[in-house]
Structure 1
Amino acid sequence: MPVDDATSYEDHYPGSFIPFDRFLKQVRLAKYEDYKHTKVRNQQAFNEMKAHILKMYEGVTKATSFVLQDEHADCIAIHEQPTVYHLGIKDIPPPPVNSTNDHTGDGNAPGNTTSAESPLKLGKKDRFCNPISCPKTSIPMARLTLEKLTQHPTLNDFFSKPPMDARPQRPEFSADEIHVHAYGIQYVQNFGGNSWLDLWNPTGDFTISQQWYQGYASGQPLQSLEGGWVSENSDNSRLFIYYTADGYGKLKCWNLDCPAFVQINHNWYLGGPWDHYSTKDGDQWGFALQWKFYQGNWWLFLQGPGAYEAVGYYNQTIWNGGQMTHNASVIIYGGEVANYTGGENFPQMGSGDLAEKGWREAAFQKTIFWIPRDENDGVGVWANLTANDEGKSSCYTIDLVNWPNGGDWGTYFYFGGPGGNDCPL
């Protein structure tokens, strides 16, 4: 059967490998009529999505690709990635050394954990015999497709991640989309921070375990920097980062989906899944994530079984001179869920068990510290968090232990729950 280039190759041969050049050709020839069955709002919204995809890849001359869990990723040269190309970055600064922590504390840690490795470092191949890895001079980028974007009414919806307590202040968010959080918070001037995140695959519409670093300044919109893992529609949890420079208005996006984050590391796949996840009464798999402000840029570090690796940075220009060009004023760690269908069926958070279930049952974050100075390397300060739970106690809870009572885990907490009906307070 001949393939119409104006429609997706996947429509004719599901599960096929689509080379990068063929993918771009499909986008150029795509028509709104082929996507009217999706959630895209109208012709104008579709045109905006199509234009965004083509603009993002303007500077890319070539790419190799692989498929990981049915999603294409493209290996793009570091100096051709969208942020470098569109922001006109000529020189990428060398990364700082990550901050560490003081492991002393009172009491015993609950148990031993296992660090999950990036799937791109495992030497595997996809089902089409392509290496699931990228050359050292390139970075992996989750492919921006019309199939992915048209799952949302508009491009702005694709970029969106509503903030805490968004509903009363932000009527433009759908009344059918309700977010609930369980988290630990500390108001402190900081230059980033750190935690080790236990990895799970909860079920439901939208559920997250993450870090937030937020900047508040008088007369300016909230600015926020985030990262952790996210599961949507019961899919395998994926690594993510997120930013907003204007209180979740128009200046926001996930991962590498807009020109904002400069990636320098070929080993870590933003938006990609993991090879291992925690199981109840079994091994507890996870990873360390650290944000570190250094000389104007916010650097991301990730750690699997080995040392911390600098992944890249948010370029300082994206903050438009706001608070996050100087430092953050709040640290937050915890869980977030969203119910897109309204009313009932709030998703699981964490492992799906309440915090009081504890070790090998409930999800957790540990080794939580904040960074006190703009400096290369340095030692962090153990967080002194205050617990907050926005949902009903039958749905979600958090059980917090601050240093020095956490032993080798430092400051840590269990969190999560089964969700269910009518969870908001």
Structure 2
Amino acid sequence: TAFLVTRAYSYIGASARINLWSPFVEAHDEYTTAQIWLLNGPRFAFESVESGWTVNPAIYGDKSSRFFVYWSADGSQKTGCFDLMCHGFVQTNHEIALGGKLNPISWERGGQYHLPISIHLDTNTSAWWLASGKTFVGYWPGDLFYALHDSASLVQFGGEVFSPLLEKLNAHHTATAMGSGNFAIGRFGHAAFINHVRITDYSKVERYPEWVYAYMDEPYCYSALNHVEYIKEPQFYFGGPGRNRLCP
């Protein structure tokens, strides 16, 4: 994983624009995402609502970038799923297809495209509502959750790669890429980015987080860089190629 994280007691919303790419996925049982997570609860059984884009051949049958939603009430141990593959997310607008193929895709040194994502809590019903741009897509009902019932304590913006290889001792690293497949240091036009990062708490004021941290658990495989100096709007860059000379 490589993400921008902010932690507090009472987040009730988050939004951002996620740069759209179509990174390489090596094996059928692997996937890569670029997304927003809102989380609460214990570390190894956290509750989450998530959305963004993914390349996930096992679920969607191809290697296209697709819009997704995801949730879990126990750190993905026994509950949760993508899209509508289990009871959970309630779709209210069918103009935006869950699992729908996303176009156009950004290209290096060329056009840069993005997916706007917004997730906010209805404090009257405890439902978490998902919107893309100004279009409400649906919601996660409050009764799915305990810790997330009133707020999130953690918000993350960034990317994740899943591979069974990462859980095997002495296995070589997957070559599944994150973001554009380039490291964050490449910046605009090369590396994937997330911008217009905003959070909302019970003050109901949407703002850039007061405290953020760029986290990466495999910096030689996938990196993270939050660019805040000398620019009006911070840009968070993330991604990488996976297996390489420094990430064997």
TM-score of Structure 1 vs Structure 2, range by shorter chain: 0.7 to 0.9
Residue among 209, 212, 221 paired with 2:37:
212
Match of 2:217 in 1: 390
CA-CA distance at 1:287 after TM superposition: 1.6
1:254 aligns with 2:82: yes
Question: TM-score with structure 1 length normalisation?
Answer: 0.51
Change (3 A) 1:422 1:236: same
Change (3 A) 1:340 1:421: farther
Residue among 97, 113, 130 paired with 1:285:
113
Tell me which amino acid in the other structure corresponds to 1:419.
G
Change (3 A) 1:290 1:424: farther
By relative contact order (CA 8 Å, sep 6+), the higher-ranking structure is 2
Residue among 167, 176, 191 paired with 1:362:
191
Structure with the larger strand share: 2
Contact persistence 1:239–1:271 (CA under 8 A):
yes
Aligned equivalents of 2:117 and 2:176: distance in 1? 24
Task: Give 3-state SS (helix, strand or coil) of 2:32's partner.
Answer: strand
CA-CA distance at 1:247 after TM superposition: 2.2
Aligned equivalents of 1:392 and 1:197: distance in 2? 21
Contact persistence 1:392–1:423 (CA under 8 A):
no
* Runs of 5+ consecutive residues of structure 1 not aligned to the other structure: 1-180
Aligned equivalents of 1:301 and 1:182: distance in 2? 24
Contact persistence 2:46–2:74 (CA under 8 A):
yes
* CA offset digits 1:2-56 (Å, max 9, x no partner): xxxxxxxxxxxxxxxxxxxxxxxxxxxxxxxxxxxxxxxxxxxxxxxxxxxxxxx
Task: Give 3-state SS (helix, strand or coil) of 1:356's partner.
Answer: helix
Residue among 22, 38, 50 paired with 1:201:
22
Contact persistence 1:372–1:381 (CA under 8 A):
no
Task: Give 3-state SS (helix, strand or coil) of 1:371's partner.
Answer: strand
Aligned equivalents of 1:323 and 1:232: distance in 2? 28
Identity %: 29
Residue among 166, 178, 185 paired with 2:5:
185
Match of 2:127 in 1: 297
Match of 1:48 in 2: none
CA-CA distance at 1:249 after TM superposition: 1.7
CA RMSD of aligned residues (A): 2.3
Task: Give 3-state SS (helix, strand or coil) of 2:201's partner.
Answer: coil
Change (3 A) 1:353 1:373: same
Contact persistence 1:345–1:421 (CA under 8 A):
no
Contact persistence 1:338–1:346 (CA under 8 A):
no
Aligned equivalents of 1:332 and 1:309: distance in 2? 22
Structure with the larger helix share: 1
Change (3 A) 1:292 1:405: farther
CA-CA distance at 1:355 after TM superposition: 0.8
Question: Which is higher, the Rg of structure 1 or of structure 2?
Answer: 1
After the TM superposition, which segments of 4 or more aligned residues of structure 1 sit over 6 Å from their partners? 422-425
1:415 aligns with 2:238: yes
**Count of residue pairs brought into register by the alignment:** 231
Tell me which amino acid in the other structure corresponds to 1:317.
D
Q: How does 1:79-228 map to 2 (within 5 A)?
A: 181-188=1-8, 189-204=10-25, 205-216=30-41, 221-228=45-52
Q: How does 1:325-340 map to 2 (within 5 A)?
A: 325-340=149-164
